[in-house]
Amino acid sequence: MRKTTTALLGLLALTRALAARADESAEPTRGWRLGATYQSLLGAPFAGGASAGPGLSVSYEFKFKRTTSVDMAFSYRDYGGEPRLSQMGYGFGLRHALLSLASPAFTPFLSYGLLFQVSRLGGHSGSGTSHDTALGFGADFVVADVPLFAAAHYHYTRLRFFDTGPFNMDYAELALGWRREW
């Protein structure tokens, strides 16, 4: 049994290595993005709370063409302040690369996203859910052989708790991070 398992794992590793070598010249079909974000609420939905704060975003993308990708996005934001507002977001995005403006080390893009958010507010039990429509622009670029991205987004968001709302939770977001494609 042990020899069979070792042989199968060795065959799998060899197959993956050969497939990776064969695909080096092919266009990437998948990718990851991991970024640090900074958000600023454009209104003041909760008295006394902070209106800006840091966050983290990660997405897994499927590339359909050189210009088009669809991603599954996840994010976490913490606005701090008192009462403390934190949000977890998830959803799908569409990104379109503007190849007519691209260079080998710089590719601008436009993006659109449909997201959901779960918001928690200190001093309140439960959570609120909101729909989020994101419109943005940014660029993929390379610095010292490290693939990076930068983006700016406007998020149209409406939050409703069970007994109150809806609250205008529109916010602007800046993101900077690392990307990997294969």
Residue 20 has what pLDDT? 57
121 touches 83 (CB < 8 A): yes
With beta carbons less than 8 A apart as the criterion, state whether 139 and 107 touch. yes
Which uninterrupted H or E stretch holds 181?
strand 171-181
Domain for residue 8, yes or no? no
State residue 89's pLDDT score.
96
Residue 74 lies in a domain: yes
Question: What is the per-residue pLDDT for 16?
Answer: 59
pLDDT per 10-residue tile (average), the chain, 182 residues: 57 54 72 97 74 94 94 94 89 97 95 94 83 96 96 91 76 97 92
- Look over the chain and give the mean of its residue pLDDT values, rounded to a whole number: 86
Which residues, 6+ apart, have CB-to-CB distance to 141 below 8 Å?
A: 105, 106, 107, 147, 148, 149, 150
Is 12 a domain residue? Answer: no
Cβ distance 59 to 180 under 8 Å? no
DSSP 8-state secondary structure symbol assigned to residue 81: B
Position 119 in a domain: yes
- 18 lies in some domain: no
Q: How far apart are CA 79 and CA 168, in angstroms?
A: 16
User: Domain of 120: which CATH number?
Assistant: 2.40.160.20
How many domains does the chain contain in total? 1
Q: How far apart are CA 119 and CA 75, in angstroms?
A: 12
